[in-house]
Amino acid sequence: MDLLFEAIFELILEGSFEASRSSKVPKPIRYFLIVLIALVYLLIIGFLFYMGITGLNKNLFAGIILIVFGLLFLILSIIKFRKTYLNRIKKVS
């Protein structure tokens, strides 16, 4: 069952990545997919921060590690977003 959910989620996410970069897909659909992808990443980052902050009470080291992973993931996601979408827009114009 876990494998099935993983395969479906990966198929949807990978399909969204490819469709959001394709110029053949209409702009409203591409923008919706970009927002959907950004929301998934924000959900994961928010979960890491939440678990890190709540984990600080029980285990200080584990809480700090989760917060650092959240920050690292946030920074890398911003870099990837800018590289994939914003720099591409500058080249087209």
Q: pLDDT tens digits for 20-46?
A: 888 888 888 888 888 888 898 899 999
pLDDT of 80 reads: 86
Rounded CA separation 39/37 (Å): 5
Rounded CA separation 71/39 (Å): 16
pLDDT of 91 reads: 53
Q: pLDDT tens digits for 52-65?
A: 999 999 999 999 99
Phi and psi dihedrals of 26, rounded to 5?
A: -60, 150
Residues in contact with 41: Cβ distance below 8 Å, sequence separation at least 6, in sequence order: 73, 77
Asked whether residue 92 carries a pLDDT value surpassing 80, the answer given is no
Do the Cβ atoms of 66 and 51 come closer than 8 Å?
A: yes
